[in-house]
Structure 1
Amino acid sequence: MPEISDREYWIESPGGRLFAKSWTPIDPGSTTPLILFHDSLGCVALWRQFPQLLAKALNRQVIAYDRLGFGRSDRRTDMLSGDFVAMEAEQYVPLLCESLSVNEFIACGHSVGGGMAVWAGASLPRLCKGVITIAAQAFVEDRTLAGIRIAEREFETPDNMSRLAKYHGDKAEWVLHAWIDTWQDPAFVDWSLDAALRLLRCPQLTIHGEYDEFGSLEHPRRIAGTHGEPRILSGIGHNPHRECPELLVEIIEDWLTSQSSASAKIPADR
């Protein structure tokens, strides 16, 4: 396995500073990094060992960042707009790429971060050379809302809020409501990834757990469509990067290798 070095960054944006971190092999086999997009309650730290495992297995750089309002990035006081998934890709990803001198990348996102990865591929086709979604939502489903309502009740306990604050500090309350209030807003009920999926042209891998509590198997079917590749993980829920990180890395590694061998659309990772 290659030796990995990690580095932290601070990126200026109109709304405040963003925190980012990279994991880079000493002698990488590819100059095209993966950019990780976290979920609704996530941040760089909550990826845990997954970025380093990816960097070692793929022998390429992996980059993760905290969205504005999350983790170590600066706070925000406004609530998320109905188009926040698309806006994340269009407004903040170019700043990240410019700051880290990234000329092209593969987008990999978990949950709502998967939607942001799809929008990155759709809106930044010259930069984004592949899209990987993990437990992503393609539309607002009753199952998703039911899972959010259960989580909302669970976060009424001080212990759960304390765990959230461990990663987001005094922004934890905002983080929670940015998720719960946005998805349960009646104005958000018609949200979907359909517009982005129609524009997406780069290779695509869709990963989803069989027992995902926030989305049925209709989500990976819709995201994969007629040209993507769906992978359903037996016995796995909403967090494959925590439930089966080694398997998830293996699936991503195999897919990148097959894409490189078959079409050369994604630069070789070896």
Structure 2
Amino acid sequence: MKTIFQDITLHSQTMRAKHLILCEEKSDRPTLVFLHEGLGCLELWKDFPEKLCQETGLNGFVYERIGFGKSSPLGLVPRPIDYLEREGRDVLPAVLKQANIERPLLVGHSDGGSIALIYAAFHPNKLVSAITEAAHVFVEDVTLLGIRKAGELYFDGALKPKLERYHGGNTDKAFRGWHDTWLTPEFAKWNMEKLLPHITCPLLVIQGINDEYGTQHQVQSIVENSSGPATPFMVPDCAHIPHFQSQDLVLQSMVNFIAKLA
């Protein structure tokens, strides 16, 4: 597999991206596009994108959003209440255009899962399918409790050094942009369920049974309210990061789902 790194510039801000290339020839096969979680970046995916590309025979594309990893710093903290909608509706299409990806198959974790669903709702004819892990479509008490606990670890000093290894100078704004935004009173009313009926592509909706940031009601809402075929998968003995905590099981479920699309 060949790996090519690329900088993508949008409105004078730079995102870092990498292409995972198995097949050099241009074809009508989709490209796996990986969308990271609320505190994620390229490195925090570790080798999972490579494994999924190898198992499916598809090329992959991974990028880190503004304010994460080695991308340009994040501006506003807290972020706008509709920051996820902006990412899925406006930013992701621009990124895919610059990367020359015409048939994306989105793989999104947590915030990335929500962004994948938003893209699917606003651009239903622009993607092949979407796979979500631990996506949120509304705010739950357990979500806010988990974020408060993460905040305690961060401000006590236990979590910050771990994040600095990946985000460097972006660390504080990356964390505060996630933590502070979700804990604002206004964000407690955030809900994107009204967008779900606009999703017509096939979905694989994954969540750990023991997810500390959300309940199975998130999965139920996505499956019941989207208009296309949606397959739920509640992963046993698994928390918020299925592709690490139950990697073999989750990898196989994604491979099987993608094979059926073909």
TM-score range, shorter chain: over 0.9
Question: 1:101-154, CA deviations, whole angstroms, 9 ceiling, x for partnerless residues?
Answer: 111111111011110000111112222121111011121000000111111111
Equivalents in 2 of 1:58, 1:193: separation in Å?
31
Aligned to 1:165: 164
Equivalents in 2 of 1:209, 1:30: separation in Å?
33
Amino acid aligned to 1:69: G
Amino acid aligned to 2:157: P
**Identity among equivalent pairs (%):** 28
- Superposed counterparts of 1:202-213, under 5 Å: 202-213=201-212
Aligned to 1:264: none
Are the aligned partners of 1:104 and 1:126 in contact in 2 as well (CA < 8 Å)? no
Equivalents in 1 of 2:237, 2:121: separation in Å?
31
Tell me the CA shift for residue 31 of structure 1.
2.4
- Superposed counterparts of 1:41-120, under 5 Å: 41-79=39-77, 80-120=79-119
1:231 to 230, 233, 237: 233
Equivalents in 2 of 1:129, 1:186: separation in Å?
36
| Change in 2 beyond 3 A, CA 1:203/1:128 | same
1:247 to 246, 249, 256: 249
The Cα RMSD (Å) is 1.5
More divergent stretch after superposition (15-24 vs 172-181): 15-24
Aligned residue pair count: 257
Aligned to 2:2: 5
Equivalents in 1 of 2:59, 2:259: separation in Å?
16
Tell me the CA shift for residue 30 of structure 1.
6.1
Are the aligned partners of 1:89 and 1:119 in contact in 2 as well (CA < 8 Å)? yes
Are the aligned partners of 1:111 and 1:135 in contact in 2 as well (CA < 8 Å)? yes
Aligned to 2:122: 123
Structure 1 segments, 4+ long, off by >3 Å, are 26-30
Q: Give 3-state SS (helix, strand or coil) of 1:229's partner.
A: strand
Structure 1, unpaired ranges of 5+? 261-267
Equivalents in 1 of 2:96, 2:137: separation in Å?
25
Are the aligned partners of 1:208 and 1:238 in contact in 2 as well (CA < 8 Å)? yes
Confirm or deny that 1:23 pairs with 2:8: no
Question: 1:29-64, CA deviations, whole angstroms, 9 ceiling, x for partnerless residues?
Answer: 862111111111111110001100011001001111
| Change in 2 beyond 3 A, CA 1:213/1:15 | farther
Aligned to 2:11: 14
Q: TM-score, normalised by structure 1?
A: 0.91
| Change in 2 beyond 3 A, CA 1:15/1:219 | farther
Question: 1:11-36, CA deviations, whole angstroms, 9 ceiling, x for partnerless residues?
Answer: 11015011111212146886211111
